[in-house]
Amino acid sequence: MNRINAHNLACPIDGALLVCHDKQLRCEHGHSFDIARQGYVNLLPVQHKRSRQPGDSKEMVAARARFLNSGLYEPLASRLARITSALVPENRKTSLMDAGCGEGYYSDTVFKYLEDRGASSGLSFIGLDISKPAILEAAKRNRQITWLVGTNRQPPVTPASIDIILCVFGFQSFEGFRHILKPGGRLVLVEPGPDHLKELREVIYSEVKKSRPQDLTPVMETGFSLVDEQSFQYKTGEISKHIIADLLLMTPHFYRTNKAGREAAAHLEVLDLTVDIVFRTLEFQNP
Ligand SMILES: C[S@@+](CC[C@H](N)C(=O)[O-])C[C@H]1O[C@@H](n2cnc3c(N)ncnc32)[C@H](O)[C@@H]1O
């Protein structure tokens, strides 16, 4: 069974601190949550669910795991690990959350990078996702990370207890993030740049628009300020039919395109793709 290494977990029903008792997390008001035998905890109460099976489906999670395990996004994951590592102070306990962690590829890569540099001993690392199938996969990747089913809208940790949040192509809830970041805490957003996967988009859409990372101006008025921005591009080299299919299934493009677009993608034999990513680091101070 995974150990629950995080000590700042909060009851999703009343916000009280959760304490580990044997195979459960309990709050002082009697709410209890089982630590599943796979080593994760479900902290998503029905009242926080907006659908019966929220988040990515089992099929999307499996496609993403196959795609990411192919190593095509390894340069992106390594860049994220370097950016994160530069934010982790030496000799100080650090609490980190990957918010919308999916099946845990980036959390695991970042954790191992920090571990290799001796920076994991004072580290509490939480991987949070609303999709239970995603967290079930993530729990297989790394037993030192605390894996939680929960929502970025109301992350189940105590207020002002997180030093660093990573949000990689994830659901961004700035309200949720503000609640849990310490003053001076950092939020690292990883988003598609203008040319991300443009070769695939040219096949599946009749008109291709440049995808811009979202405008953060309104967010800046709520205590966040931009402290770093980096663009990162590379080409994958030719990728095969099966990997193209997995890539399409794991992205929102699968639902955004129409039947003709999906069929055009299915006829592709190979594709050389542009990966174009923007990393933005925001600092949080209470306004
Ligand atoms: C595009 S995927 C990215 C997953 C992962 N970060 C990656 O890049 O491999 C978006 C993820 O956000 C999750 N998600 C959607 N809504 C969420 C919410 N309200 N809170 C937490 N996670 C959410 C989905 O289940 C999915 O795993």
Q: How confident is the model at residue 184 (pLDDT cuts 50, 70, 90)?
A: very high
- Helix (H, G, I), strand (E, B), or coil: what is residue 128? strand
Task: Say if residue 69's pLDDT is above 90.
Answer: yes
Query: Where on the phi/psi map is residue 100: left (φ > 0), alpha (ψ -120 to 50), or beta?
Result: left
Whether 67 and 248 have beta carbons less than 8 Å apart is answered as: no
Q: What angle do CA 38, 40, 46 make, to 5 degrees?
A: 120
In whole angstroms, what is the distance from residue 85 CA to residue 114 CA?
6
In whole angstroms, what is the distance from residue 95 CA to residue 163 CA?
5
Q: Which of 50-64, 153-167, 253-267 has the highest mean pLDDT?
A: 153-167
Kindly state if the Cβ of 170 falls inside 6 Å of ligand 1: yes
Give domain limits for the chain.
39-194+206-231+276-284
From the CA of 234, how far away is ligand 1's center (Å)?
A: 24
What pLDDT does 191 receive?
Answer: 96
Whether 136 and 142 have beta carbons less than 8 Å apart is answered as: no
Q: How confident is the model at residue 104 (pLDDT cuts 50, 70, 90)?
A: very high
In whole angstroms, what is the distance from residue 93 CA to residue 183 CA?
15
In whole angstroms, what is the distance from residue 253 CA to residue 81 CA?
26
Query: Within its chain, how far is the Cα of 131 from the centroid?
Result: 11
What pLDDT does 45 receive?
Answer: 83
What pLDDT does 230 receive?
Answer: 96
From the CA of 172, how far away is ligand 1's center (Å)?
A: 9
pLDDT digits (tens, 9 = 90+) for 188-230: 999 999 999 999 998 888 888 877 888 999 999 999 999 999 9
Q: Could you confirm whether domain 39-194+206-231+276-284 is CATH 3.40.50.150?
A: yes
Kindly state if the Cβ of 153 falls inside 6 Å of ligand 1: yes
